[in-house]
Amino acid sequence: MAGNSFGHIFRITTFGESHGPALGVIVDGCPPNIALTESDIQFDLNRRKPGQSKVTTQRKEKDIVQILSGVFEGKTTGTPIALIIFNKDQRSSDYDAIKNLLRPGHADFTYLKKFGIRDYRGGGRASGRETAARVAAGAVAKKILDQYKINIVAYTLAIGGIYAEKMNYTSIENNLVRTPDMNAAKRMEEKILEAQKKNDSVGGIVEAIVHGCPSGLGDPIFDKLDAKLAHAIMSIGAVKAIEFGSGFKAAAMLGSDHNDKFYLDGERVRTISNNAGGILGGIATGEDIVFRVAIKPTSSIAQPQQTLTTDGKEATIKVLGRHDPCLCPRIVPVVEAMTAITLADALLSQKTMLSDR
């Protein structure tokens, strides 16, 4: 059924295929009177766009966004905001040779089983290109969060086993892999280029931190903030795992170590540690929300792989075309966007719980 909307109150609905005429999103439920221009949105789109460096795909898309509705004289009006990005640099012929082959790691097989038909050009709807619409919508969500001084930062924590260690968050955008450790950046970059040279790809970990989230956000028991974030983030292609705060480490801990003790910081109730990752009982505590996301290595690789044709015959495939040897650098703004969308929804939701009488 209809699975292309996300959010209840701040709700996005996206459309578009990798090689169709355009991609886009309708953002519904955005409050009125928020200043919004195309350049607000373009900023994040540029961070996600292809062809931005030697460690990303060389497909050239400027990903210029246009606002089609919902904004009047520079301000949101409360009506649906439609954002569109026209595709410019499709090279569908790249896909002719493999249109009857099942690419390993891709959704070719499952789309065929689900729908009985599939747009094979560039992966169609299953392309990572759909995330452009998410990033555009996320930029709108961030405008809401700005009003509350909620700030999201995401970055590459690890690539192919190499971890950022000495964190300097101001340097994230100063290296090609978007990591806060300039030394690790160098080694991560080499790791990527090395994989690429072997017609291979490599995975990584993206970490996100939300500063300034007001306590109280999240809607138990099913729309807990961590549950919604997990939903949002896991819906991004190539994500294999998510952990909050202590994450998998919690499994080997004792309660006496894991419990974050409360203390008073001025007038504010805080916790000494943050194993909770900023969320208790599915509701934000006010501490930083922290989570990590595992990104699998890109499935499109140019080396020969065993596979089947769509009608079940044995075959070998090389996925040529232009692909990212590592998804992390470009997935960072997508993780931010989905986080922003989830928080905007939770923020507006919380307004319905507050007494104004």
In the region spanning residues 59 to 78, those forming contacts with its own copies, defined by CB under 8 A, are: 66, 68-70, 72, 75-78
Residue carrying structure tokens 């703004």? 333
Residue carrying structure tokens 């009047």? 72
Among 65, 276, 289, 335, binds its own copies (CB under 8 A): 276
Under the binding rule (CB under 8 A), the answer on residue 262 touching its own copies is yes
How many whole angstroms separate alpha carbon 24 and alpha carbon 68? 10
Bridge partner list, 84: 24, 66
Under the binding rule (CB under 8 A), the answer on residue 234 touching its own copies is yes
* DSSP calls for 30-44: PPSS-B--HHHHHHH
Within 333-352, the residues that bind its own copies by CB under 8 A are 348-352
Give whole-number Cα distances, 41 to 67, 74, 141, 246, 336, in Å.
9, 13, 10, 33, 13
Under the binding rule (CB under 8 A), the answer on residue 246 touching its own copies is yes
How many whole angstroms separate alpha carbon 172 and alpha carbon 162? 16
* DSSP calls for 79-142: S-EEEEEE-----GGGGGGGTTB--TTSSHHHHHHHHS----GGGGGGSGGGHHHHHHHHHHHH
Task: Kindly determine how many residues on this chain lie close enough to bind its own copies according to the rule CB under 8 A.
Answer: 159
Which CB sits closer to its own copies, 54 or 313?
313
Among 207, 243, 288, 336, binds its own copies (CB under 8 A): 243
Among 301, 331, 335, 337, binds its own copies (CB under 8 A): 301
Among 99, 153, 167, 286, binds its own copies (CB under 8 A): 286
Among 247, 274, 318, 320, binds its own copies (CB under 8 A): 247
Is residue 207 within 8 Å of 290, Cβ to Cβ? yes
- Residues 121-160, one symbol each (x = binds its own copies by CB under 8 A, - = not), give ---xxx---x----------------xx---------xxx
Other CB atoms closer than 10 Å to residue 304's CB: what's the count? 11
Is residue 57 within 8 Å of 323, Cβ to Cβ? yes
Which CB sits closer to its own copies, 170 or 277?
277
Which CB sits closer to its own copies, 61 or 170?
61
Which CB sits closer to its own copies, 2 or 170?
2
Bridge partner list, 76: 71
Among 54, 88, 113, 211, binds its own copies (CB under 8 A): 113
Within 9-68, the residues that bind its own copies by CB under 8 A are 9-11, 13-17, 20-24, 26, 28-29, 31-33, 66, 68
